[in-house]
A and B are shown apart, each in its own frame.
Chain A
Amino acid sequence: MDDHAGFRSWAREVLAHEGFDVVGEAEDGRTAIRLVEELRPEVVLLDIQLPDQDGFAVARLIGDGSDVVLTSGRAPEDYGRRLAESGHAFVRKDDLNGPSLEAVLGARG
């Protein structure tokens, strides 16, 4: 999920061609939580900067059924210890593609 429609559509295109089945899109945290409950995806790509609440808070509300991968245009060190403490994988938006996503998911087992 990402509040920038242009980015969402390109991300869907990239991931779809790299073997991922993109089951849903959301533009804010509230919609995201509702969609995750409905669609139960294996992986949730979650932008940290959302218009209604921050991605860390949304990640806590998403249950254990889905692997959350946090994304951002900012560098991971911009978030200090919050990122490490969240326990979620992280992929920079300009580095978003199938292999990098598989790498972080693989690293988490």
Chain B
Amino acid sequence: MTPRRWTALGVVLLALGWALGAEAVSISHGVEENHFLDFATGASFFLGGAIALDRRPGNRLGPLMVLNGLSWFCGNYLNVRSGWTQPWLHIVQAAQTGLLAHLVMAYPSGRLSTRFERLVCAAAYVVPMGAMGLSLLTQDTSRCADCPPVPAAYPDFPHAVLAHRFFLVYDRSAWVLVTLFFVVLWLRWRRSTAAARHDLAPLWAVAVLLVAVYGLAPFASEEQNGFGYLIWELGAVLQIAVPWVFVYGLLSTRLAQSAIGGLVVDLQSPVAPGQLRALLARTLADPGVVVAYPMGDGRWVDADGRPVEPDPPDGDRRTTLVEREGRPLVALVHDPALDPDLVRASAAAAGMALDNERLHAELRAQLKEVRASRERIVLAGDAERRRVERDLHDGAQQRLLALSLALRTARRQLRDGEQSLVADTLERTGQELTSAIDELRELARGIHPTVLTDAGLGPAVAMIAGRVPVPVEVAVGDERYPPAVEATAYFVVSEALANVTKHAHATHAGVTIARVGGHLHVEVCDDGRGGADPGCGSGLSGLTDRVLAVGGTLGVESGPGTGTVVRANLPCRVRP
């Protein structure tokens, strides 16, 4: 059970207690009425409210129905006539007019849509509750048999005159309220489309029911026989039906889709990036809805391009995948209680906006990736400079320092007349110098291979292939390409062959470079043990950044035991 369902169950149990308690009070005080019908009317508001809370969370009709039920039973508790609870029970009971008007006017979205509606609704609450409040403050308990035994707050108030005038106003305002209520309904009808009018049918059923109940009231009688009793029972049954009409309306998909009508209207004005999720959350009445966009490479991102998980591991959420022309458009992670058709219909209604936002999300994710890769390129550049400095310091510089000491020794030997030793010293000096020159040459080649600049990819690749301890089959043409493309291809081959030497345990390797269309395809394969991971180790991820920087793509296939294939695809044109 989800926490929401527990809440709904709790509401049902509390409400049942409140309703049974109310009937117990009525029976114990000898109130003559049909207790079953009274119980059924209030309880049907509670039950309808609980169902609405469970199935349409976020829609205010559920709480409104529950409050209606609460208010319904206040009359029963008034029979207790004790203590300070009495005024409050009167006030809550007086709220029933407002609650019922609110329920009808807010159907089916749960929201009042115009200022006029809000005004009428507020009046429906304030006028009866205010009238009750004032009468409680000013009543003369000595002249009123039914008055609660609570002293009026202002007993010296000129109550008789005021109360009379006030009830005149209230009496007339009741008619004004009813008229305004029907004006609201009529205005809603007038501005609705044909489909929306169809959706409002249950509302009219409720309005007719309410008119019937209150219109027939003067003819009703609780005497257990004759026409009056029939009318009274009919009225009670009609009132029981009110919440069920609302529940039917809320649960029928067609009406749930009327919320989609609101979404379509909202989408007619430009939607700010990221706002679409909020609109869908409101339409589906699921504040936690997640909108995930496919990136095309198996990753999913939200509207801001942040990675999201479209398959939640817990059963509290469900994922609905929406496709367009066979391609995934969006994944909606939502409350499992939601009707899948409603979710799909919402996504369909928001199709264009979703597509738009998907492109935005893709762009943002790419921008994030570009920023990250730019940072990695800068870091890799710094690391490379540190490596060159260290290589220079530890290699050639040490040899040159030794040379300076060697030459100083030779000078001393000459000065001391040790001629025989000088030749040996100079011989060793020459060896040290040759080593220093070799080291500098290797270092320079590592920074940028001259053969690549002078002779192109073919000879450059042949040179690095020649240093790999296993046979390497090289298939590279003589064409020249733009320097950035040649350098990138060279470093892809160089890094991939270095991995063959260091990790692959291969017996053969192959390098193929060919231009197909506007792209240079570079492929390095081996028959080694495989298992290379492009995400781990800076070598391959550094290569990916390098390849992306020239607008290319890098792929690595390396299953365990099946060898490794590194493929780079670089956009290029032939250099004349």
> Which residues of A line the B interface, CB within 8 A?
4, 6-7, 10-11, 13-14, 17, 49, 73-74, 93-94, 96-97
Report if B408 contacts A (CB, 8 A). Answer: yes
- The interface residues of chain A lying within 8 Å CB-to-CB of B402 are 4, 6-7, 10
Q: Tell me whether chain B's interface is mostly helix, strand or loop, or mixed.
A: helix
A-B contact pairs, 17 of them (CB 8 A): A4-B398, A6-B398, A7-B398, A7-B402, A10-B405, A10-B406, A13-B405, A13-B409, A14-B405, A14-B408, A14-B409, A14-B412, A17-B409, A49-B393, A49-B394, A96-B405, A97-B408
* B-side interface residues, number (CB < 8 Å): 15
> Residue B499 at the A interface, CB < 8 A?
no
B405 and A73: CB pair below 8 A?
Answer: no
CB <8 Å contact, B393 and A74: yes
> Which of chain B's residues have a CB closer than 8 A to the CB of A4?
398, 401-402
- Which of B393, B397, B404: most chain A CB closer than 10 A? B404
Chain A residues within an 8 Å CB radius of B400: 94
Other-chain contact of B401, A17, A94, A97 (Cβ < 8 Å): A94
Q: In the complex, how many angstroms separate the beta carbon of B389 from the nearest chain A beta carbon?
A: 10
* A74 nearest CB neighbor, chain B only: B393
Instruction: Give the shortest distance, in Å, between B299 (CB) and chain A (any CB).
Output: 43
Q: Does B286 belong to the interface (CB within 8 Å)?
A: no
| B400, B402, B405, B432 — most chain A CB neighbours (10 Å) | B405
In Å, the complex CA distance between A14 and B397 comes to: 19
Q: Mark B486-524, 1 if CB is under 8 A from A, else 0.
A: 000000000000000000000000000000000000000
Q: With CB as the reference atom, state the residue of chain A lying closest to B399.
A: A6
- Encoded as 1 (CB less than 8 Å from any A CB) or 0, chain B from 399 to 442 comes to 11110111011001000000000000000000010000000000
Contact with A along B376-407 (1 / 0, CB 8 A): 00000000000000000110011111101110
Cα-based distance from A6 to B399 in the complex (angstroms): 7
Q: Find out whether the CB atom of B432 lies under 8 angstroms from the CB atom of A6.
A: yes
Residues of chain A with a CB closer than 8 A to B399's CB:
6
Given contacts A6-B399, A17-B409, A17-B412, contact A73 B393 (CB under 8 A): yes
Nearest Cβ distance between residue B414 and chain A, in whole angstroms?
13
Contact, CB under 8 Å: A7 / B401: yes
Task: Closest A residue to B397 by CB, please name it.
Answer: A73
Which residues does chain A contribute within 8 Å of B406, judged by CB atoms? 10
> What's the Cα separation between A93 and B399 when bound, in Å?
11
Nearest-neighbour CB distance to chain A for B290, whole angstroms, equals 51
In the assembled complex, which residues on chain A have CB atoms less than 8 Å from the CB atom of B398? 4, 6-7, 73
Residues 335-346 of chain B, each 1 if its beta carbon lies under 8 Å from chain A, else 0: 000000000000
Give A96 Cβ to nearest chain B Cβ, in Å.
Answer: 7
Q: Is the CB of B394 within 8 A of A94?
A: no
Contact A10 B409, beta carbon cutoff 8 Å: yes
Given contacts A6-B432, A49-B393, contact A73 B401 (CB under 8 A): yes
* Other A-B pairs beyond A10-B405, A17-B412, A74-B393, 17, CB < 8 Å: A4-B401, A6-B398, A7-B398, A7-B401, A7-B402, A7-B405, A10-B402, A11-B405, A14-B405, A14-B408, A14-B409, A17-B409, A73-B397, A73-B398, A94-B401, A94-B404, A96-B405
For residue A8, which residue of chain B has the nearest CB?
A: B402
Pick the most buried of A49, A74, A94, A96: most chain B CB atoms within 10 A of its CB: A94
Q: Which residues of A contact B404 (CB under 8 A)?
A: 94
- Report how far A49 CA is from B397 CA in the complex, Å: 13
Bound Cα distance from A13 to B408, whole angstroms: 10
Q: Which B residues between 429 and 479 are near A, CB-CB below 8 angstroms?
A: 432
- Chain A neighbourhood of B408, CB < 8 A: 14, 97
Which residue from chain B places its CB closest to the CB of A17 in the assembled complex? B412
Chain A, Cβ-Cβ closest to B435: A6
A73: chain B residues within 8 A (beta carbon) = 393, 397-398, 401
B397 to chain A: which residues have CB within 8 Å? 73
B61 vs chain A, min Cβ distance (A): 73
Q: How far is the CA of A11 from the CA of B399 in the complex (A)?
A: 12
- Docked pose: A96 CA to B393 CA in angstroms: 17
Could you give, for residues 166-196 of chain B, a 1 whenever the CB lies within 8 Å of some chain A CB and a 0 otherwise?
0000000000000000000000000000000
Which residues does chain B contribute within 8 Å of A93, judged by CB atoms? 401
Smallest beta-carbon distance A99→chain B, Å: 12
Of all chain A residues, which has the CB nearest B406? A10
CB distance from A77 to the nearest CB of B (A): 15
Residue of A nearest to B429 (CB): A10
Q: How far is the CA of A30 from the CA of B518 in the complex (A)?
A: 58
CA distance A49 to B398 in the complex (A): 11
Q: How many whole Å from B394's CB to the nearest CB in chain A?
A: 7
- State the CA gap A7–B165 with chains docked (Å): 115
Give the Cβ gap from B413 to chain A, nearest Cβ, in Å.
9
Contacts of A7 in B (CB 8 A): 398, 401-402, 405
